[in-house]
Amino acid sequence: MVSELQRPVAPPLTFVVGREIVSELREIVSELQGPMAPPLTSVVEREIVSELKEIVSELKGSVAPPPTSVVGREIVLELREIVLELREVVSELQGPVAPPPTSIVGREIDSELREIVSELQGPEAPPPSFVVVQVLEIDVPTMERFLQDMAQEKLIRFTAQQLCSLTTNYSTRLGSGGFGIVYKGQFPNGVKIAVKVLNRSSNKGADEQFMAEVSTIGRTYHINLVRLYGFCHDNFMSALVYEYMENGSLDKYIFSDTQAIKWEKLHEIAIGTAKGIAYMHEECQHRIIHYDIKPSNVLLDANFSPKVADFGLAKICNREKTHDSSAGYRGTPGYSAPEFLLKNYPITYKCDVYSFGMLLFEIIGRRRNVRVSHAAKADESMDWFPKHVWDEFEKGQLEAMILSYGIEENEREKAKRMAMVALWCVQDSPKTRPLMSFVVKMLEGGVEVKPPPKPFLYLFSVGINILNPSNSSNNISNERADTHWYKETTPIMAKYEIEMASSS
């Protein structure tokens, strides 16, 4: 690490942990050199000196890792532990009449600490007021490359000519829709990209979608959210440049008999998608409401890891606001929450929870929720899968239904849990639906999911009373404390605990 930092082209030590260690080591050197410091001759001090020498030896190695690599961070952690031990030793041994550090061991540790401080600081160390940026896993040979990598953290504004070159004159078409057309492209370094060229029309739809995507996904980064590299906007075109997702969207796998995914992987996709939505709702500085969660907006990378995409309808909300005041219907029929059917009803981020529940039903059944037949009678013309799931749950036949959909015996418990979570997500009242972080917890199996109440009452009586139960709270902090969706111990864990107790 130190040898890398001492080279003329190595980046300065600007990461936060390194500066903290330099500061602490300086203080310890000062204490050890002070007129009241004790001699360091005990076994403990000698052990610390030995550890420091080993660390110094590693730091001086000709192939020392950069400070942001995994090994580098481990060395930094070791240094921090030793710093804490040194502080304890200094605190214990310091006294009002202690002699100066004239012992051999004291001089050795003083010398080693001075060398570490000098090497860690280096000639390029930033001043204390320098704005520090923490960079993970960057291995760069030059400062210029380092700065280029840092620039990638910000959105890039491309020109129309650049996008034409990156897509080889828009030669490979990936898909299209009302929003526009998506083309495949590639950066000069070989990284594949997807370029979405938005339809430019007389209305404001394209501009609104462009601003929605750039303002939401452009300021976030999560492993389960598709990454936006940059954009292009001029008088002639609007385009968005995304990371390329090799396996396309989820819908082509769950609605197809020829491109099936194993149930275990579908379960992982459901959890990953839930984590992405939970990040938007609960972890971003400003809450993001997606408004259009559905299988076609869940993209899969080369490893079939899911990423939520298409933020064209998304909105940013302050956490202090309990709802979005924007008027008008948003989303896709069949996935949109029932509160959109009521005039002037406050729309909250819980509309995404409802849409996610509808997505879970389609994962369980590997089919679309709505199937329309050509029967003569109107009441027999539509097969709605979510209601079928509730009917089977109410009759206690949920497991039999799950097996009838080809889910293997060893995955039955996960599928049953997913069905119950889906029923919780699609509750009529937004306040009765769980937070997405709780949805993740329930899907992962760390808790026992409680039986959900009957949903879909709005189909028979649409009104404010249906969507506003009197026993619900508006406060998100109260929701975090509320666990009426689950119990902390699952039956599986309870059985395991009983077996452990009986065997001991």
Whole-number pLDDT of residue 159: 95
pTM of the model: 0.65
Whole-number pLDDT of residue 101: 46
Whole-number pLDDT of residue 25: 63
Whole-number pLDDT of residue 22: 54
120-168 confidence digits (pLDDT tens):
555 544 444 444 434 334 344 555 665 565 555 588 999 999 999 999 9
Whole-number pLDDT of residue 63: 46
**Distance, CA of 9 to CA of 284 (rounded, Å):** 36
Q: Do 35 and 94 meet the contact criterion of CB atoms below 8 Å apart?
A: no
Helix (H, G, I), strand (E, B) or coil at 231: strand
Whole-number pLDDT of residue 494: 46
Burial of 248 (0-12, 13-18, 19+ CB in 10 A): middle
Helix (H, G, I), strand (E, B) or coil at 249: strand
Burial of 62 (0-12, 13-18, 19+ CB in 10 A): exposed
Whole-number pLDDT of residue 136: 39
Amino acid at 434: P
- The b-or-e profile of 389-416 (16+ CB within 10 A means b, else e) is bbebbeeeebbebbeeeebeeebeebbb
Binding site per annotation, positions:
196
179-216 confidence digits (pLDDT tens):
789 999 999 999 999 999 998 775 567 788 888 888 88
| Eight-state DSSP code of residue 483 | -
Q: Do 159 and 236 meet the contact criterion of CB atoms below 8 Å apart?
A: no
Other CB atoms within a 10 A radius of the CB of residue 326 amount to 11
Among residues 111, 119, 109, the alpha carbon closest in space to that of 83 is found at 109
**DSSP states of 277-332 as a string?**
HHIIIIISSSEEE-S--SGGGEEE-TT--EEE---TT-EEE-TT-SSB---S--S-
Among residues 247, 367, 231, the alpha carbon closest in space to that of 312 is found at 231
Active site members: 292
Which tokens is 44 given? 């403990």
Whole-number pLDDT of residue 498: 39
Residues of the chain below pLDDT 50: 1-17, 36-38, 40-41, 62-65, 67-69, 71, 96-102, 124-140, 470-474, 490-504
**Distance, CA of 337 to CA of 345 (rounded, Å):** 12
Whole-number pLDDT of residue 388: 95
Binding site per annotation, positions for ATP:
196
**Distance, CA of 299 to CA of 297 (rounded, Å):** 6
Whole-number pLDDT of residue 423: 98
**Given phi > 0 = left and psi -120 to 50 = alpha, else beta, which region is 60?**
alpha
Amino acid at 333: P
